[in-house]
């Protein structure tokens, strides 16, 4: 009897795993080509981070940037539970293009490899590799002219939504704990973060076999991370949405960071009446309040 169609793991709406090893994804979006965004005028191009791993990234730059302008840089990691999403599809464009346009900043979204084909911590490793690749431009001699010519490497911010916010936080801690010479990490912007649940997260256990899926994992619960107070930036912005099922974990993260002994400044911002990652699914005019908060955080000294 052929039982290859038997489902061994059902993590809907993300993916299902069959007995023969097949993975069926439920959430698949087509990528958008790079170029000029007609809504905001933002320009984008794709770059290769690592020929060996195949990791790429998309850079977003404001149309009005001049040849002598040095702008803040947002290093972005997309959401999607570590198993869906892309730096190249419309949801990432919806998040970043309005901020790039309104704030006159540059953004680069790192397209880390997805689980379960690439089990965690590969997503974290790829994201770190992307940060190192970016830092290689701080002397003006990197492979990408947009970064060489237009980035103020004294004003680099890590950001992400949901799982991407988790990655941004984790890398900021690693920068502080391990030292960093390539660039100055000015801050982190943590949007609707995924930091697990009080109960064991079975999908995360599957995606990361070295994790318990529970609160003893510092990647899921920063409160148990002995390096939290070393986070390598001067300020943090934690954004939550009132109707988000992860809202309370986001607020708990804010309170934990504020009392951790980390010497930086942390702000808390809540969007009333909205749900998880609403900014990725709405038109830019409907996300102006959140975008303004992020722009002010990045551009106001």
Looking at the annotation, which residues are catalytic? 162, 244, 276
β-pairing, 15-18 with 7-11?
antiparallel
Q: Distances from the Cα of 136 to the Cαs of 122, 148, 216, in angstroms? A: 21, 9, 35
Q: Edge to edge, what strands does the sheet with 265-271 contain?
A: 43-50, 55-61, 106-111, 71-77, 151-161, 185-191, 235-241, 265-271
Q: Does 258 sit behind a cis peptide bond, omega within 30 degrees of 0 on the bond before it?
A: no
Rounded distance, CA 257 to CA 223, Å? 8
Rounded distance, CA 12 to CA 33, Å? 28
């Amino acid at each position: 009897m052929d039982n290859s169609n038997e489902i061994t793991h059902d993590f809907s709406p993300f993916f299902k795993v069959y007995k023969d090893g097949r993975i069926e994804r439920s959430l698949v979006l087509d990528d958008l080509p790079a170029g000029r965004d007609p809504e905001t005028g933002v320009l984008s191009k794709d770059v290769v981070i690592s020929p060996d791993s195949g990791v790429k990234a998309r850079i977003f730059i404001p149309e009005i940037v001049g040849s002598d302008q040095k702008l803040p840089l947002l290093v972005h990691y997309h959401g999607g539970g570590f198993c869906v999403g892309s730096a190249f599809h419309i949801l990432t464009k919806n998040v970043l293009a309005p901020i790039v346009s309104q704030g006159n900043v540059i953004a680069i979204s790192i397209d880390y490899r997805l689980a379960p084909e690439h089990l965690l911590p590969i997503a974290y490793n790829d994201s770190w590799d992307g940060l190192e690749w970016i830092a290689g431009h701080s002397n003006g001699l990197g492979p990408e002219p947009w970064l060489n010519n237009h980035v103020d490497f004294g004003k680099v911010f890590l950001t992400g939504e949901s799982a991407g916010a988790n990655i941004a936080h984790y890398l900021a801690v690693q920068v502080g704990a391990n030292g960093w010479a390539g660039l100055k990490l000015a801050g982190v912007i943590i949007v609707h973060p995924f930091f697990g649940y009080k109960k064991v997260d079975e999908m995360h256990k599957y995606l990361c076999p070295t994790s318990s899926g529970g609160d003893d994992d510092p990647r899921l619960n920063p409160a148990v991370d002995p390096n939290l107070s070393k986070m390598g930036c001067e300020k943090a912005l934690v954004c939550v949405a009132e109707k988000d099922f992860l809202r309370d974990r986001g607020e708990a993260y804010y309170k934990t960071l504020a009392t951790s002994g980390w010497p930086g400044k942390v702000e808390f911002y809540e969007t009333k009446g909205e749900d998880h990652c609403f900014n990725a699914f709405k038109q830019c005019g409907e996300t102006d309040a959140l975008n303004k908060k992020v722009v002010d955080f990045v551009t106001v000294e």
